[in-house]
């Protein structure tokens, strides 16, 4: 029985490899055109800002930064009323999100309910 299960798994893996090699070139074909990077008014700083993540509605921007008002790379947030407006001055999220430890890689869920 154990040999039969291993054979089925091996056959499935071979099938996946064959599918990827023979027809997989179009499976994940992303063709992106990026514009020229620009500084974001009110957001980018000389302190170092990394790993931005924007909410699904485009109105909230989370990122990590070494700004003077933070401690050891905190998570900050900037908001705007509409996607045509400028971003607000970023605010440190503070406790309980930030601590004296390294907080990095903020990511907001699509529904905006989990960070």
> Is the pLDDT reported for residue 72 higher than 60?
yes
> Is the pLDDT reported for residue 74 higher than 60?
yes
- Does 96 sit behind a cis peptide bond, omega within 30 degrees of 0 on the bond before it? yes
CB of 87 closer than 8 Å to CB of 42:
yes
> Is the pLDDT reported for residue 103 higher than 80?
yes
Alpha helices per DSSP H over 1-115: 2-23
Give the model's pLDDT for residue 7: 65
Return d(Cα 8, Cα 14) in angstroms, integer: 10
Q: How far apart are the first and last CA of the chain?
A: 45
Our separate counts of H helices and E strands in the chain read 1, 4
pTM of the model: 0.66
Percent of the chain with pLDDT over 90: 37
Domain ranges for the chain: 37-108
């Amino acid at each position: 029985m154990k040999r039969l299960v291993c054979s089925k798994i091996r056959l499935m893996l071979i099938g996946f490899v064959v599918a990827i090699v023979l027809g997989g070139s179009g499976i994940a074909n992303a063709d992106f055109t990026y514009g020229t990077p620009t500084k974001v008014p009110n957001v980018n700083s000389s302190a170092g800002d990394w790993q931005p993540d924007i909410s699904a509605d485009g109105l909230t921007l989370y990122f990590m930064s070494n700004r003077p008002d933070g401690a050891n790379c905190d998570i900050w947030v900037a908001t705007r009323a509409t996607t045509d407006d400028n971003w607000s001055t970023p605010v440190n999220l503070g406790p309980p999100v930030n601590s004296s430890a390294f907080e990095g890689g903020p990511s907001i869920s699509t529904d905006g309910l989990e960070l």
